[in-house]
């Protein structure tokens, strides 16, 4: 019995290790390819370690991607903060100040999270052109704040649902109103809610591609569009592409490594029932 | 009316207006455009009836894209559910280094579909990557991955060969690699929510470990399974960036999907009305999956 248990334990670990290697395989290839000098990047030696380490590919990729890296930074910081603030207020109203029809309004807002963005893209571009924000970072910020409303509202609404009503009632008896309760009770209790929402929004906006590629052209393109262009052109070598992909992925990977707990919480909150 | 009734509404009003315009208003406008003749650079909003839809349903590329979406969705959902479920059970069975394994399976979730596409494009390139490993293992006939134009089990339907597009399997592998973390996290949360007493009770009744999973744990995870399937389903119905970065529409449109077709026909070809019609069909497919889910989630709420 004990032997059988041991065998099945070994089997269990073997499967997990094989799966882990499969999941890490792309990262391995990205790293070893990106540090290879150009003459070693050949198809048949793809899995081999480099004989000498070269950061030439990083230098080239960084030069190419740096302006777009900045564009994404200018986009992602204000868009994340704004959409978290709106989400917090909406979540507060929709959990603690429900009014007639507010549940239907919530469902109607939530639907916006699931639509294929192709179905709003043509009018969106016409609209951005008409207000002069087409092909601009502020235009992209507006878009991400608006289409981020459903998810940020959902996460904060579920988060605030755990704050007991008694707390609100006591504050009401003490004479606090809608704004006072938010300022003195809800907002101070929101820190971990804000962390989850900000990480979620930061990651999504950083990684987003469809809006970025349709709303911007040269000059204001975010990093993911530049990365796609980098790999779309034939002249650029594989080591540069892999270095570029790693550079573009680094911020969200770092967030995942540093505050993975909150990242997973956001992931779970993204599924409607919280 | 007291200010405590008006104020909350005033605070949420900007969001309601924004969603009203940007979601519902824009969808209506796209719907309208899909019935017009606007298939040139300059807007032409004259009414065209069902012309664009009829064109699409007879169109080789659109039919290919729908076939590809069907099989992508099917294999992607099954793959993500199974990989997440089994990994969650393994990780949940008291293993050492649990957090290391969990982190490894979850990290692709932090990446962009564009990054995933760029890397897997190379890994599944027929002349390099995984195929080098396979040929070292002694395989003679190497898979063509996303360059394979075979449609397996095919029969003619409309203007296309209907069947399993072999090239999509490569894209499905990349997509499963990226999204397994989601189902793993959901299942792990679900498994940890099942009280130990429930499993213990089944074991006391003489159930084998396998029966405990099949008869007790799996049924209790059913709502989670449905949630994952619906969320993965809506992602796959509108997939764009992964395929755009990894393969494009492929030879003979073997890896084309409506999302890529919509983007290219609208913004590269200036066929705005056709693009709008594709977008409306995509919206319809997603709504069929999502609306019942939202309504039932709302019911469960109240």
**Residues B185-214: tens digit of each pLDDT:** 999 999 999 998 888 888 888 888 888 888
The DSSP letter of residue A100 is: T
Residues of B in contact with A269 (CB under 8 A): none
Task: Please report the pLDDT score of residue A107 as a whole number.
Answer: 93
Q: How far is B228 from chain A (nearest CA, A)?
A: 8
How far is it, in rounded angstroms, from Cα A205 to Cα A151?
Answer: 12
The DSSP letter of residue A188 is: G
Range A32-59 average pLDDT: 88
- Indicate which of A29, A68, A119, A215 best probes the interface with B, i.e. most B CBs within 10 Å of its own CB: A119
Do the chains contact at A47 and B266, CB–CB below 8 Å? no
Tokens 């949360």 identify what position? B189
> Do the interacting molecules here have an ipTM over 0.85?
yes
Q: For the beta carbon of residue A249, count every other beta carbon within 10 angstroms.
A: 28
pLDDT digits (tens, 9 = 90+) for B109-145: 999 999 999 999 999 998 888 999 999 899 988 999 9
Name the A residues in 137-176 with CB < 8 Å from any B CB.
146-147, 149-150, 153
pLDDT digits (tens, 9 = 90+) for A105-139: 999 999 999 999 999 999 999 999 999 999 999 99
How far is it, in rounded angstroms, from Cα A250 to Cα B107?
Answer: 12
> Please, which residues have CB within 8 angstroms of residue B105's CB and are 6 or more apart in sequence?
A19, A20, A23, B87, B91, B180, B181, B184
Q: How far is CA B200 from CA B94, B96, B190, in A?
A: 16, 22, 17
Name the A residues in 48-87 with CB < 8 Å from any B CB.
86
Do the chains contact at A271 and B272, CB–CB below 8 Å? no
Whether residue A1 is predicted with pLDDT greater than 70 in this model: the reply is: no
Task: Please report the pLDDT score of residue B245 as a whole number.
Answer: 94
Closest chain A residue to B28 measured between Cα atoms? A120
Helices (H), A97-237: 102-111, 118-130, 137-160, 165-173, 178-181, 191-207, 210-215, 223-232
- The answer to whether residue A10 neighbours chain B at the CB level (below 8 Å) is no
Q: Containing H/E element for A3?
A: helix A2-34
Assess contact for B249 and B256: CB atoms under 8 A.
yes
The DSSP letter of residue A185 is: I
Task: Please report the pLDDT score of residue A41 as a whole number.
Answer: 81
How far is it, in rounded angstroms, from Cα B123 to Cα B183?
Answer: 24
Whether residue A39 is predicted with pLDDT greater than 60 in this model: the reply is: yes
Tokens 């027929």 identify what position? B126
Task: Please report the pLDDT score of residue A274 as a whole number.
Answer: 39
Assess contact for B97 and B229: CB atoms under 8 A.
no
From the list B15, B109, B282, the residue facing A118 with the nearest CB is B282
- Indicate which of B52, B115, B226 best probes the interface with A, i.e. most A CBs within 10 Å of its own CB: B115
Whether residue A245 is predicted with pLDDT greater than 60 in this model: the reply is: yes
Range A176-182 average pLDDT: 91
Whether residue A235 is predicted with pLDDT greater than 70 in this model: the reply is: no
Sequential DSSP letters for chain B: --HHHHHHHHHHHHHHHHHIIIIIIHHHHHHHHTTB---SSS----B-TTHHHHHHHT-HHHHHHHHHHHHHHHHHHHHHHHHHHHHHHHHHTT-TTHHHHHHHHHGGGGS-HHHHHHHHHHHT-TTSTHHHHHHHTT-SS---GGG---EEEEEEETTEEEEEETHHHHHHHHHHHHHHHHHHHHHHHHHHHS-HHHHHHHHHTT--HHHIIIIIIHHHTHHHHHHHHHHHHHHHHT--HHHHHHTTT-GGGTT--HHHHHHIIIIIT--HHHHHHHHHHHHHHHHHHHHHHHHHHHHHH-
Task: Please report the pLDDT score of residue B229 as a whole number.
Answer: 96
Whether residue A236 is predicted with pLDDT greater than 80 in this model: the reply is: no
Task: Please report the pLDDT score of residue A6 as a whole number.
Answer: 78
- The segments of chain B whose pLDDT lies below 70 read 1-3, 300-302
- The answer to whether residue B257 neighbours chain A at the CB level (below 8 Å) is no
From the list A119, A177, A209, the residue facing B280 with the nearest CB is A119
């Amino acid at each position: 019995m004990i032997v059988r248990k041991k065998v099945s334990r070994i089997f269990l670990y073997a499967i997990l290790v094989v799966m882990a290697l499969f999941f890490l395989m792309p990262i391995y290839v990205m790293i070893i390819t990106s540090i290879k000098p150009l003459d070693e990047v050949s198809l048949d030696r793809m899995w081999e370690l480099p004989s000498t380490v070269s950061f030439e590919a990083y230098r080239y990729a960084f030069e190419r991607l740096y302006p777009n890296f900045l564009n994404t930074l200018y986009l992602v910081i204000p868009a994340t903060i704004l959409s978290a603030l709106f989400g917090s207020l909406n979540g507060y109203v929709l959990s603690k100040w429900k009014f007639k029809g507010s549940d239907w309004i919530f469902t109607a807002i939530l639907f916006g999270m699931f639509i294929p963005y192709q179905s709003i893209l043509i009018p969106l571009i016409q609209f951005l052109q008409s207000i002069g924000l087409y092909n601009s970072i502020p235009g992209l910020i507006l878009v991400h704040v608006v289409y981020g409303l459903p998810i940020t509202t959902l996460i904060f609404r579920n988060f605030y649902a755990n704050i007991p009503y008694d707390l609100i009632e006591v504050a009401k008896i003490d004479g606090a109103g809608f704004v006072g309760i938010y300022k003195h009770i809800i907002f101070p209790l929101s820190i971990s809610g804000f962390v989850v929402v900000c990480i979620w929004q930061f990651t999504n906006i950083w990684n987003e591609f469809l809006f970025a590629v349709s709303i911007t052209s040269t000059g204001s393109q975010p990093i993911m569009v530049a990365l796609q262009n980098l790999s779309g052109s034939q002249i650029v070598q594989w080591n540069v592409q892999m270095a570029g992909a790693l550079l573009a992925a680094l911020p969200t990977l770092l967030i995942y490594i540093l505050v993975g707990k909150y990242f997973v919480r956001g992931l779970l909150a993204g599924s409607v029932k919280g | 009316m007291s200010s405590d009734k008006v104020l909350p509404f005033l605070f949420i009003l900007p969001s309601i207006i924004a969603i009203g315009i940007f979601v519902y208003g824009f969808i209506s406008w796209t719907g309208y455009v899909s019935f017009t003749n606007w298939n040139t650079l300059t807007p032409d909003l004259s009414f065209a009836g069902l012309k664009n839809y009829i064109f699409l349903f007879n169109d080789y590329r659109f039919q290919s894209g729908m076939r590809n979406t069907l099989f992508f969705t099917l294999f992607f959902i099954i793959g993500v559910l199974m990989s997440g479920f089994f990994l969650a059970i393994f990780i949940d069975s008291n293993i050492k280094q649990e957090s290391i394994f969990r982190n490894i399976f979850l990290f692709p979730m932090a990446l962009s579909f564009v990054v995933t596409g760029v890397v897997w494009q190379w890994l599944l390139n027929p002349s390099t990557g995984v195929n080098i490993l396979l040929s070292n293992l002694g395989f003679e006939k190497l898979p063509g991955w996303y360059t394979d134009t075979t449609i397996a089990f095919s029969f003619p339907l409309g203007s296309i060969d209907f069947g399993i597009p072999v090239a999509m399997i490569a894209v499905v592998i990349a997509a499963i690699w990226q999204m397994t973390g989601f189902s793993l996290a959901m299942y792990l949360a679900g498994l940890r929510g099942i009280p130990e007493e429930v499993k213990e009770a089944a074991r006391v009744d003489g159930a084998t470990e396998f029966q405990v999973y099949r008869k007790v744990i799996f049924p209790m995870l059913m709502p989670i399974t449905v949630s994952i399937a619906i969320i993965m389903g809506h992602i796959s119905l509108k997939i764009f960036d992964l395929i755009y970065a990894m393969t494009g529409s492929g030879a003979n449109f073997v890896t084309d999907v409506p999302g890529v077709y919509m983007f290219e026909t609208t913004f590269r070809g200036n066929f705005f009305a056709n693009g709008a019609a594709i977008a409306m069909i995509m919206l319809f497919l997603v709504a069929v999956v999502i609306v019942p889910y939202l309504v039932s989630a709302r019911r469960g709420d109240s």
